[in-house]
Structure 1
Amino acid sequence: MLDFILLHKEILLTIVVFLPFISAILAGFNATLRPSKILGYICSIFITSSFLLTCLLIYILVKTDIQSFHVFLWDFIATGQFQVSFSLMFDKINAIMFLVVTLVSTMVHFYSIGYMEHDAGFNRFFSYLGGFVFSMLLLVGGDNLLILFIGWEGVGTCSYLLIGFWYKRKKANEASIEAFVMNRIADLGMLLGIFLTYWTLGSLSYHDIFLTLANNPPKDSVMTWIAILLFIGAMGKSAQFPLHTWLANAMEGPTPVSALIHAATMVTAGVYLVVRLAPIYNVVPHVAYFIASLGAFVAIFASLMAIVNRDLKRIIAYSTLSQLGYMFVATGLGAYWIALFHLFTHAFFKSLLFLGAGNVMHAMHDKLDITKMGALAKPLKTSMVFMLIGSIALCGIPPLAGYYSKDKILEVAYAQHEYIIWTILLIGAVCTAFYSFRLFTLVFIAPKNHNEHPHEASKVMLFAMTPLAILACIAGIFHIQFETFLSSALVPLIIHIKEQTLLIILTLGLIIVSIISAYFIYKKGYQEKHRYNILHKILSNEYYIPKLYNMLFVKPFSLCSEFLYHIVDMGIIDKMVDSIGKFIVFLSYLLRPIQNGNLSSMLRLMSLGVIVLLFITLLYFILL
């Protein structure tokens, strides 16, 4: 079996990447036809096949000494000295991403069969999902920055389509445009970084870039700019401040989209980029420290917004934003394998929470205000258990997955004497516990505050959530194996903390106090008096940043567009085009009499034309 896999590993990798593309094409050809559950299952089987083949490829890396292998497909660009191939690679770093993307995508595909079954755009939805998964696999599977960028733009385009899936809703359209534009701004920085990388290091291939850095590193100033520009792209995709506003608004898309894009795949692309380019960030430690500082800021910045928000999906979205901050702290402090490990565990419990939120929405006829819910524990028993598992894992309580990954980030910050960052992350962890169980209490335990008749989700939806719930429980236990697996690809960070036990006790103690506080504050329902607190108002309005952006960018741009439309477009360009048309019409009126159908008149005009032509010719020769 192993020999067969080794012999065909390049073919298997190509199949893994392109199966979702085939799924997207198949669903796309049926997009305008009647919704078909069979099509949904076929597309899900394609993604499942990608997941199973990924497991086989990881088996190769575990059982053999192979560190990586490449698949050359074709020459992508070959002009002069600029040579870039369309080729794929599989190593221990992107193996983790392949596993996460294909596994979560499989569960989301099966979940969507039940969630979207009554939607007229069912087939179109699966086409977009397939395209998104293909783009994400291309992003993590490419062996050079250009292929990564193609996948990067692909996930951006598919996220635009998925967020604005219900295009008849104005808010969905606005959210999709905001996500697209915000990411285009960041991607410009990334593209400049790619250009500068080629200009400085002479290649876009990861292998060549890292080899040049090891043997002939450029000046620090150039490497600083490369690191900053590439990180700007990561800031956009991973919604880091100040390019964060699109993430919460993206909740206008269907809930499976939230689970796929905003929990496990697209938003983690920025973290993957920094981990993949670790040798670049290792030579510019000041940029790496900035990344860690920004991540710590975002971790508390987003947590505080989640504490006061009343929208079910937005709270989980802010939680994602906060956890991405933790991942960037780990990358900035050089703990790359820990960042990847938290990315790995987070994907399972966060997608579980989003899908659980989808079950609640189904039961509540798409209502999202958690203060208008309550007493859903009995009708939604299974969903409640799943969301409880996800919440405990998110809080970082042992033995669930979040404890093993998030606590390690706190330990790294403390071990490197970054006490300010550690304190901020600790406060963020306490806030996470509070808003997680605030949500859980108001939705499932608080007194009933609605007139709905809730019901549990369909079996296929619960089936899709079960593997995620299991992994949210057990994935963290394999942290030693995870570190061993990545030890040859990323330098393992050995943590020596004498007070490690005391730190764990302190963290867990504060988290448990926070959970108990949330329960007792909200077990009787939401108190309206909190609305009038000034801090509450600031946090509810997202620190007024969206309004500031609207005032500084959106309104001036709109006014400029209106001016150009009325003065330049309609006043000058349109009138010039109209004038040409009017002149031709006027000319046609003048020349109409000569087209009277009289043969004698036509002969006279023809003769006159010949005479004029002869006269001009004679004049030309005389003057010559």
Structure 2
Amino acid sequence: MNNVLDIVYWIPLLPLLGCIINGLGRKSLSKGAIGVIGSGVILASFVLSLWAFFQVRAGNVHTAEYFPFINVGNLKIPFAFQIDQLSAIWLLVITGVGFLIHVYSTSYMHDEKPEHFGRYFAYLNLFVFSMLLLVMGANFVIMFIGWEGVGLCSYLLIGFWFKKKEYSKAANKAFIMNRIGDLAFLIALFMLINKLGTTTFSEIFTSASLAKLSGREITVITLLLFVGATGKSAQIPLYTWLPDAMAGPTPVSALIHAATMVTAGIYMIARANLLFSMAPATLNVIAIIGIATALLAATIALKQNDIKKVLAYSTVSQLGYMFLALGSGAYVAAVFHVMTHAFFKALLFLGSGSVIHAMGGEQDMRRMGGLSKYMKVTNITFLLGCLAIAGIPGFSGFFSKDEILAGAFAKSPVLYALGLLGALLTAFYMFRLYATTFKGNFRGTQEQEHHLHESPAAITVPLIVLAILSVVGGFVGVPGFIAQGAHALSDFLKPVFKDSYALLPAHEVSHSMEWTLAGVSSLLVIVVVVIAWSRFAKKPDLQPATGLGKVLENKWYVDELYDTIIVRPLNALGSFLSNVVDRKVVDGVVNGVGRLVSYGGRQLRWLQSGQTGSYILMMVLGMVLIFIVQFFLRK
């Protein structure tokens, strides 16, 4: 070994081993053993990730090459892992939050049969393996393998309870919509191979390599990569799969659809930041799509009544903020929000799971209310998560969201204004959710009220840890206008983004302006929180929605629109190809040839009569025919 970081292959290998053991031994292992193995391998990966993080922090950035993966002609793609500042941050988030969710799952999924319990943990371990492969890959090919792996695991986990038809449909929807983005990613990959002859990051992101690409080619490649990111990270127009993905178990929603997989698109753009910085048109598209998604999803969340659906649209909206940051060139802010969002959104999803667990599977907020009396730990931790996502000063969400809004203001005051509107909508719908669920009087059945109780320690301990991270997690990125030189995350990530920041036009925002922006947004958010709390705690929104509210409740009818202009025409085309082209044309030709041969055989068999006289006559006629051809027709 030339470098101590060569052993980082154990970080993804351990979850893969956990998947194999739990998958093959699911019928023989006890639930306790499955839970220990499934959670233990993730804890071991987290410890190794922590060690790798401190190695990187000490200056040991390393690319570990293990063997040639593809070696054809001049194309050489190694199986290699890159451990630097960016991948180190993601490793900690994936394995740290992942471990807490695995522990939570041991209690949440305890009613499953042992073999299904084992299948669940095998899928969960396989997902973590794929996600680690995605962020550790030193080239686009290894990243793409992980990219496809998380898509597969998402399908398996969304459709975990596959006997329910609507859950299987949700899994199919997620898988198919992700394939659209994946195709664009693959085309961009082929373009890079065609133009540069490599997919390795350290070889692509050099001035010599990038000089081989024209401005138009860079724009096309980055737009294709962005389409790939919109699929995985649920942006317009490929976002509708994520809310439906709530069909999966709640811990799955927390891990895959809040903390890790949906941030894969942000990671990919952050990794290729230099390429995107050379395509200002693409950055503008990213910023516009990001803010549009943030606002669209936030308006839909205002009128949802399913506790997990509110959080799902909240996730889509927050991902929009991350893309707004990327499009504004504020790469550090995007990574910062990925980290803080992982803390508070995982907390909120797991908190909603605790509520659903206590309510016997009920997810409609209108049938809840007053739960703070029965579930004190869940109530306090959920409240802290709501304060964090709303961006209340001092909480983690405040620091990352403020940095995104400052970056948006530097690019365009219009983007800032729209971003601020999104932040106010976020505060409103989150405290509508909190007040409707935890405040007021209980609105469920007597039987549900009788069974209300706080969740066991395996559920509440992860909630407490995530709540602490949601409160203090933002202090790794204290902005310069509050304390000079206190943005540890920016200093840590500087080597990853320094070339991009040299390319991008400098948009400095003065400290006095940053104080003003932060003060205005904080004041407005607090006002909105007070309004939402006082309104919905006393009088929850129980009446059927009308007018615009009904449009929002029905998600702007986007699913119906897609169904009308895409799904039904494709189904009609498929039906036409199946019933007409396949059965009548293709089958008609094949069957027609068969019938022709059969008919010809039936007619020719009459020549084989078995009568000697007939055979002699045919011989004579044949000889006469040959004689005529030979002497009269040939010249």
Q: Does the alignment pair 1:72 with 2:65?
A: yes
Preserved CA contact (<8 Å) 1:213 1:280: no
- Residue 167 of structure 1 aligns with an amino acid whose one-letter code is F
Q: How far apart, CA to CA, are the structure 1 residues paired with 2:600 and 2:97? A: 68
Which of 417, 431, 456 does residue 423 from structure 1 map onto?
Answer: 417
Which of 264, 267, 270 does residue 272 from structure 1 map onto?
Answer: 267
Q: Does the alignment pair 1:564 with 2:562?
A: no
Give the unaligned 5+ runs of structure 1: 590-618
| Residue in structure 2 matched with residue 548 of structure 1 by the alignment | 561
Q: Does the alignment pair 1:466 with 2:461?
A: no
Q: Match of 2:372, SS?
A: coil
Moved more, 566-575 or 159-168: 566-575
Q: Does the alignment pair 1:108 with 2:104?
A: no
Preserved CA contact (<8 Å) 2:5 2:64: no
| Residue in structure 1 matched with residue 127 of structure 2 by the alignment | 132
Shift of 1:561: 2.3
Q: Match of 1:518, SS?
A: helix
Q: How far apart, CA to CA, are the structure 2 residues paired with 1:405 and 1:161? A: 32
- Residue 467 of structure 1 aligns with an amino acid whose one-letter code is V
Shift of 1:427: 0.5
Distance 1:340 1:586, change over 3 A: same
- 1:102-122 CA-partner distances (Å, limit 9, x unpaired): 111111111110011111311
Shift of 1:489: 2.0
| Residue in structure 1 matched with residue 532 of structure 2 by the alignment | 518
Preserved CA contact (<8 Å) 1:213 1:279: no
- Kindly report which structure 2 residues correspond to 1:428-467, keeping only aligned pairs within 5 A, or say none: 428-451=422-445, 452=448, 453-467=451-465
Shift of 1:501: 1.9
Shift of 1:299: 1.2
- Residue 206 of structure 1 aligns with an amino acid whose one-letter code is F
Moved more, 192-201 or 221-230: 192-201
- Residue 148 of structure 1 aligns with an amino acid whose one-letter code is M
- Kindly report which structure 2 residues correspond to 1:314-353, keeping only aligned pairs within 5 A, or say none: 314-353=309-348
Q: How far apart, CA to CA, are the structure 1 residues paired with 2:414 and 2:2? A: 48
What TM-score, normalized by structure 2, do the two folds share? 0.88
- Residue 434 of structure 1 aligns with an amino acid whose one-letter code is F
Shift of 1:570: 4.7
Shift of 1:198: 1.9
- Residue 58 of structure 1 aligns with an amino acid whose one-letter code is F
- 1:250-286 CA-partner distances (Å, limit 9, x unpaired): 0001101100111111100001111110100111112
Distance 1:218 1:561, change over 3 A: closer
Q: How far apart, CA to CA, are the structure 1 residues paired with 2:104 and 2:587? A: 51
Runs of at least 4 residues off by over 6 Å? 574-589
- 1:315-347 CA-partner distances (Å, limit 9, x unpaired): 001111111111111111111111101111110
Preserved CA contact (<8 Å) 1:35 1:117: no
| Residue in structure 1 matched with residue 609 of structure 2 by the alignment | none
Q: Does the alignment pair 1:8 with 2:1?
A: no
Moved more, 502-511 or 162-171: 502-511
Q: Match of 1:235, SS?
A: helix
- 1:367-396 CA-partner distances (Å, limit 9, x unpaired): 111111111111111111111111110011
Shift of 1:569: 4.3
| Residue in structure 1 matched with residue 364 of structure 2 by the alignment | 369
Q: Does the alignment pair 1:499 with 2:492?
A: no
Which of 478, 487, 490 does residue 483 from structure 1 map onto?
Answer: 490
Q: Does the alignment pair 1:289 with 2:268?
A: no
- 1:485-514 CA-partner distances (Å, limit 9, x unpaired): 112222378653422222222111111111
| Residue in structure 2 matched with residue 88 of structure 1 by the alignment | 81
- Residue 489 of structure 1 aligns with an amino acid whose one-letter code is V
Q: Match of 1:489, SS?
A: helix
Q: How far apart, CA to CA, are the structure 1 residues paired with 2:334 and 2:18? A: 31
- Residue 466 of structure 1 aligns with an amino acid whose one-letter code is I
Q: How far apart, CA to CA, are the structure 1 residues paired with 2:596 and 2:440? A: 75
Q: Match of 1:526, SS?
A: coil
Q: Match of 1:197, SS?
A: helix
Q: How far apart, CA to CA, are the structure 2 residues paired with 1:528 and 1:268? A: 34
Preserved CA contact (<8 Å) 2:204 2:210: no
Shift of 1:586: 12
Distance 1:410 1:462, change over 3 A: same
Distance 1:300 1:215, change over 3 A: closer
Q: How far apart, CA to CA, are the structure 2 residues paired with 1:566 and 1:48? A: 54
Preserved CA contact (<8 Å) 1:35 1:122: no
Preserved CA contact (<8 Å) 1:93 1:489: yes
Which of 15, 19, 39 does residue 14 from structure 2 map onto?
Answer: 19
Distance 1:559 1:193, change over 3 A: same
- Residue 495 of structure 2 aligns with an amino acid whose one-letter code is S
Q: How far apart, CA to CA, are the structure 1 residues paired with 2:358 and 2:600? A: 70
Preserved CA contact (<8 Å) 1:33 1:123: no
RMSD of the TM alignment (CA)? 2.9
| Residue in structure 2 matched with residue 596 of structure 1 by the alignment | none
Preserved CA contact (<8 Å) 2:551 2:557: yes
Q: Match of 2:67, SS?
A: strand
Q: How far apart, CA to CA, are the structure 2 residues paired with 1:182 and 1:576? A: 35
Q: How far apart, CA to CA, are the structure 1 residues paired with 2:256 and 2:67? A: 29
Distance 1:215 1:513, change over 3 A: closer
Which of 188, 193, 196 does residue 198 from structure 1 map onto?
Answer: 193
Q: How far apart, CA to CA, are the structure 1 residues paired with 2:218 and 2:589? A: 50
Shift of 1:144: 0.5
- Kindly report which structure 2 residues correspond to 1:178-327, keeping only aligned pairs within 5 A, or say none: 178-212=173-207, 216-327=211-322
Distance 1:561 1:512, change over 3 A: same
Q: Match of 1:204, SS?
A: coil
Q: How far apart, CA to CA, are the structure 1 residues paired with 2:595 and 2:194? A: 53
Shift of 1:579: 9.0
Q: How far apart, CA to CA, are the structure 1 residues paired with 2:99 and 2:285? A: 36
Q: How far apart, CA to CA, are the structure 2 residues paired with 1:429 and 1:422? A: 10
Q: How far apart, CA to CA, are the structure 2 residues paired with 1:357 and 1:549? A: 29
Q: How far apart, CA to CA, are the structure 2 residues paired with 1:576 and 1:110? A: 60
Q: Match of 1:89, SS?
A: strand
Preserved CA contact (<8 Å) 1:413 1:421: yes
Distance 1:501 1:367, change over 3 A: same
Preserved CA contact (<8 Å) 2:328 2:411: no
Moved more, 461-470 or 419-428: 461-470
Q: How far apart, CA to CA, are the structure 1 residues paired with 2:509 and 2:258? A: 28
| Residue in structure 1 matched with residue 606 of structure 2 by the alignment | none
- Residue 106 of structure 1 aligns with an amino acid whose one-letter code is F
- 1:195-248 CA-partner distances (Å, limit 9, x unpaired): 112222231111111114676252111111011011100010000001110010
Shift of 1:89: 1.0
- Kindly report which structure 2 residues correspond to 1:55-66, keeping only aligned pairs within 5 A, or say none: 55-63=50-58, 65-66=59-60
- Residue 10 of structure 1 aligns with an amino acid whose one-letter code is D
Distance 1:463 1:241, change over 3 A: same
Distance 1:518 1:203, change over 3 A: same
